[in-house]
Amino acid sequence: DDSNIAPHKRMNDAIHAFNCLTVAEINHGGRNANMHRTGLQPVGPSDVPNAIVGGHSLKVPTIAEIKEIIGKYRDGARRAIAAGYDIISIHGAHGYLITNFLSPKYNQRTDEYGGSDENRVRLALEIYDAVRQEVGKDVPVGIRISMTEDIEGGITVEQSIALIQRLEKLGLDFVDVSAGTYDTLPILIQPMDQPQGCLLPFARQMRQNVKVPVIGAGRINDIDLAERALSDGDADFVHMGRAFHADPEILAKTLRGAKEEVVGCIACNKCCSQLFSDLRSVCTVNPRAGRERTLKLIKTDRPRRVMVVGGGMAGMEAATVAAQRGHDVTLYEKNQECGGYVTILKAPPTRKAWGRATHDRVRMLEQSGAKIVTGRVVTAADVEAERPDVLILATGTRPFVPAYVAGSDRPHVTDYDSLIRGRVKPGSNVVVMGGQNLGMITAEFLADKGAHVTVIEQTGALSTDLEYMAREMLLARVNRSNQITVRLNSNVEQINDDTVIVQSGGAYETISGIDQVVFANVRERNTDLFEEVSLGLSERLNIQVHLIGDAEWTREPYDAMMEGTMLARAI
């Protein structure tokens, strides 16, 4: 309502002070609206509920009610201009109301707003006309569309092009090309499994068929890719969203010639997963995202000697921030490279983007002035010799091979860490114990090396600890794979020289021809050093000791890094 005009005006005034334009994207949730959030019944052209947001029955509007909805778009445009927005974008993509009316699958009406192509585009045309009448010819008005829903019976590329050609004749100023709906979220919110710029071919196709400027989108997460999209003729403008969440200064750094300092978005989708769970949007690679006012870097007035043991995400973040604040910091990592558990996460080809996260953290650590010692296992004697004021133990986790599994001590039995770090060569016919994220990372790593893999998972579902969009793509890959076989609700009972006995539902089966068994179902906390120094050493030497990250309890990289940054700001 009109009460929103004033706060939006303040925001726009602040943005305009930096000589930037603002765009108001006007939207109606349609069948994507969640009744638990709004308290209102979702609206759609036909009663085809959306299971992703609760599967609520939809209110099917009468023609008179459709006219009221069109009026609401007009009201939204009026408020946007009053609030100081420079450009209006009508959201007609991603399974929201306009998409629902455009879709042959979800629009099953038999009146003037459904049925034929002509009738299904009517709502979009009338909304555009109402908005244009409200704002006049001097305000740019465009529309965002899903070029395809990527579902059987959904909107096609040809139908999307035809719609924009119609709107172009009515005076449309630009088209913003996306793809997908909530039914096809891995296309709509692309995880790292999707290639960078994956939707640009749609923008190029639209650009070849219309005269209005085209905006391209789809995991455009670095400036070089954005520039190529423009120079190659894929689009006239590009959308960059998550990239600015990861590093709000991405453009400023590039313009001042410091592109190498950009913290890159890895498309882990932590930000979007939080929103879908009604939580604040955060960022795995930018702990300050959403906390810019409270997480300010304040220089210490009491520099202290800080010893950090463990070069994973928690340890690197703690060391970096502590050094930036003026402390004398030394970080020790037992492996030859920092990264911790993220070194495991980046192992399969589809997860390589995790490598960007470690690359950026190592660079920031080096630039902070902290001293870095790799290939060194720290003991209690080392702590006593160094005598730091503060000891931060970010020693992470280690693999666990259970002795209770018969045959787990055989020479061809190993763990995910030894395999992925290269201490053990991959087998050719491998059983992987565990089908959650860690197990499937191991399985895909092995498959990429040419192995045939059988995954044994004791629960009834794979990778339930993986974010939704990435999990959907993983399941699709596994279903297509001729190298990965999955056995759910199963346990390994015995490991023999070249066979594994599996139990499922009380029945036993022998898998033959096995040359390797990899345990990838359990990580245990590595607290050995913490326990050693806690036995009087820390008190005797007056050392402040902190256990952080996965060593405290296993969790996602974001949570571990957040703990590291909060601790470093409190020292």
Any idea which residues carry the catalytic annotation?
96
> Residues 123-162, buried b or exposed e (16+ Cβ, 10 A)?
bbebbbebbbebbeeebbbbbbbbbbbbbeebbeeebbbe
Q: Which of 179, 108, 118 shows the shortest CA–CA distance to 144?
A: 179
Rounded to whole angstroms, the Cα distance separating 113 from 118 reads 8
SS3 content of the chain, % helix, strand, coil (to 5): 40, 15, 45
Rounded to whole angstroms, the Cα distance separating 109 from 453 reads 49
Residues whose CB falls within 8 Å of the CB of residue 506, separated by 6 or more in sequence, listed in order: none
Which 3 state secondary structure label does DSSP give 531?
helix
Which tokens sit at 185? 């979220």
Q: Among all chains, which residue has been given the structure tokens 């609030």?
A: 83
**Residues linked to residue 309 through DSSP beta bridges, in sequence order:** 332, 393
Q: What are the phi and psi torsion angles at 70 (to 5°)? A: -60, -40
Which tokens sit at 537? 């050493």
**Residues linked to residue 544 through DSSP beta bridges, in sequence order:** 390
Is 362 within 8 Å of 338 (Cβ atoms)?
A: yes
On the 0-12 / 13-18 / 19+ scale of CB atoms within 10 A, 463 is buried
Rounded to whole angstroms, the Cα distance separating 378 from 529 reads 8
**Residues linked to residue 216 through DSSP beta bridges, in sequence order:** 238
What is the dihedral sign for C-alpha 466, 468, 470, 475?
Answer: positive
DSSP states of 124-155 as a string? HHHHHHHHHHHH-TTS-EEEEEES---STTS-
CA–CA–CA angle 548, 553, 557 (5° rounding): 70
Is 334 within 8 Å of 377 (Cβ atoms)?
A: yes
Q: Which of 198, 260, 249 shows the shortest CA–CA distance to 224?
A: 260
Q: Which of 532, 383, 25, 62 shows the shortest CA–CA distance to 239?
A: 25
Residues whose CB falls within 8 Å of the CB of residue 477, separated by 6 or more in sequence, listed in order: 193, 350, 444
Rounded to whole angstroms, the Cα distance separating 318 from 306 reads 10
Rounded to whole angstroms, the Cα distance separating 271 from 279 reads 9
291 alpha carbon, distance to own chain's centre: 19
In whole angstroms, how large is the CA radius of gyration of the chain? 27
Q: Which helix (H) or strand (E) holds 252?
A: helix 250-255
Rounded to whole angstroms, the Cα distance separating 445 from 188 reads 26
Q: Which of 334, 338, 324, 326 shows the shortest CA–CA distance to 287?
A: 324
